[in-house]
Amino acid sequence: MSLTKQSVSAVKWSALGTTFRFGLQLGAQIVLARLLGPENYGLFALGLIVLTFSNMLGNFGLAWGLVQTQNLSDEDVRFVFTWQLASGLIVAIGVFLLAPALAIFFKEPRIELIIKWLSLACFLVALTAPASHLLRRKLDFKWISIIDVTSYTISYILIGIPLAYYGAGVWTLVVAWLSQSFFALIFTFMRSPHQIKLLFWHSKAKSITNVGLTVLLTNISNWLLNNFDRILLGRFLNAQAVGLYTVPYNFANTPNSLLISALQPAFLAAGARIQEDVNRLRKVYLSVLATIWIVILPMFVMMSMCARDLIFVLYGPAWTSSGVVLAILALAMPAYITWAMSTPILWNTNRKHWESLLQFPIIIIAGIAFYNFASQGGVIVAVVTSCVLLLRAIVITSAACHQLKISFRDISGYLLRGLVMSSITVAGCYFGAELGHFLGSGHWYALLGSSVVATIMLIAISLCTPVILGGEVIEMLGRFSPSLSSLLKRRISTFAKVVSDL
């Protein structure tokens, strides 16, 4: 199979797995949030801040060397596994021992035991990394998707929801997280077995280690920027405030993170094979940017417009104050995706270190901003978070464009068409909400009216005047649905003919 077909197949399976997991995750989050309430979610979120940082240290980037190395050997795999095993074990023990001090920092003694149990996940994630990245190297996203969906279903649907129903509280989320990590390890190794004989050094170890250290520094900068908000909310306020912020953040970020997890690894793995073909990489990147700004941006605008009704309908009145937080954060998620899809360009043009270096000034700015505003509550923190995400997107995207010799003029058309589509979305949501209120009172009517009318308007404008989508988006759609691409191209030809006749 050619690289192009492999890449398209990888993204298709990732997108399919992403869509299915999005449905599962959304359903599970809604049920668990209703059963557990803001305080339990806040306690788990505080523990998760520590876990994500420790996971990053335990899985400190060596496994990415398995994707980036052109000619992979068994020695490379053994070397990576050895150090993943060692780092995962060391970090897990360190987190366990630091749990009391972390509970004091957050002024919340209940999270000490939570952090101690979650330390096990550090070891499990570190062990999973070699097999998982070998699957990414092979572009075997079909099985990555199957493993993700299966482990999530077992852990959150079959185990988590019954535990929450019978009153397990915050331990519902702890058990679900640990079980997902365990099943992901078992299923991934079954699909991609590798040697587990220890090897502490070999001839190519230095190059793989350099990649690992670059990944580690990059991940630390990204972790800080992604977690400043909850760290300082937990420090200055309480678990309840963290919960009321974290749930809308997770809701806005769920489609976002699933899109990134589906597209970024495939983009990075495929790009690693065409590092020398800059023109090809440039063309693909432009198509990605166009799709984000013209297709994905209006979807998040719709989420923002419907946020208040969406939170009330899905989570209930206990979460009503989270509606404004969701409305603000949803508008920033396309910037997050833009940043995430720009980083592979730096990695595949031998500028791996740029991501962490360019974000260092942003870390300082974000830290000062969050420290000064966190005590004012979740809404203000959501505004700061959105500004930080936008700044990151501008900086990293500019660097990627510089590497590929893309000017602002080359991409300004995508931004303009994205703003037009977003304006149509805003109008559709407004008139849809008014229609909903006319038909009946309550959040259900407004939510249904807004989403249906806005969706119909977006589909209609795309089919009637597909020129607004542009050739890059239509080409991208054609990789996954040739019939839809052909229909849109015929529409463009008809539109051009009508214009020329006039």
Looking at residue 227, its pLDDT comes to: 84
Place of tokens 């062990």: 127
User: Side-chain half-sphere of 413: how many Cα atoms within 13 Å?
Assistant: 14
311 compared with 73, residue with greater pLDDT? 311
How far apart are alpha carbons 330 and 307 in whole angstroms?
A: 8
Q: What percent of the chain is helix, strand and coil (3-state, nearest 5)?
A: 85, 0, 15
Q: How confident is the model at residue 484 (pLDDT cuts 50, 70, 90)?
A: low
pLDDT for 9: 59
| Mean pLDDT value of segment 470-476 | 78
Look at residue 136 in the predicted model and tell me its pLDDT: 81
Question: How high is the pLDDT of residue 137?
Answer: 81
For residues 149 and 2, the model is more confident at: 149
Residue 271 has pLDDT above 60, yes or no: no
- Name the residue among 162, 156, 341 with its Cα closest to residue 250: 156
Structure tokens at 212: 């690992």
Looking at residue 332, what is its pLDDT?
94
Cβ partners under 8 Å of residue 434, min gap 6: 449
Greatest mean pLDDT among 3-12, 251-260, 486-495: 251-260
**Which pLDDT score, from 0 to 100, does residue 392 have?**
92
Ranking 197-206, 216-225, 269-278 by mean pLDDT, the lowest is 269-278
**Tens digit of pLDDT for each residue in 420-468?**
999 999 999 999 999 888 888 788 889 999 999 999 999 988 888 888 8
Tens of pLDDT, residues 381-422: 999 999 999 999 999 999 999 988 899 998 999 999 999 999
Q: Is 32 in contact with 243 (CB distance < 8 Å)?
A: no
* Percentage of the chain modeled with pLDDT above 70: 84
Q: Comparing 143-147, 293-297, 413-417, which segment has the lowest mean pLDDT?
A: 143-147
- Mean pLDDT, the chain, integer: 83
Q: What percent of the chain has pLDDT over 90?
A: 33
- Structure confidence at residue 200 (pLDDT): 84
Helix extents (H) in 59-169: 64-68, 74-105, 111-137, 141-152, 161-165
Please choose, from the candidates 484, 480, 482, 483, the residue with its C-alpha nearest in 3D space to the C-alpha of residue 16. Answer: 480
Identity of the residue numbered 410: D
Distance between CA atoms of residues 199 and 78, nearest Å? 6
Mean pLDDT to the nearest integer, 8-19: 62
pLDDT tens by residue, 81-96: 898 888 889 888 998 9
pLDDT at 492: 66
For the ranges 174-188, 190-204, 368-382, the lowest mean pLDDT is seen at 190-204
- Answer yes or no: is pLDDT of 8 > 60: no
Query: Whose CA is closest to 288, among 207, 401, 206?
Result: 401
Q: State the Cα–Cα distance between residues 431 and 426, nearest whole angstrom.
A: 9
Least confident of 131-145, 182-196, 355-369, 373-387: 131-145
- Report the alpha-carbon distance of residue 271 to residue 267 in Å, rounded: 6
Residue range 260-284: mean pLDDT, rounded: 62
- Of 10-19, 89-98, 143-152, 311-320, the poorest mean pLDDT is in 10-19
Tens of pLDDT, residues 224-265: 888 888 888 888 888 888 888 988 898 888 777 766 665 655
pLDDT at 60: 62
In this predicted model, which residue has the larger pLDDT, 450 or 490?
A: 450
Whether 66 has a pLDDT exceeding 80, the answer reads no
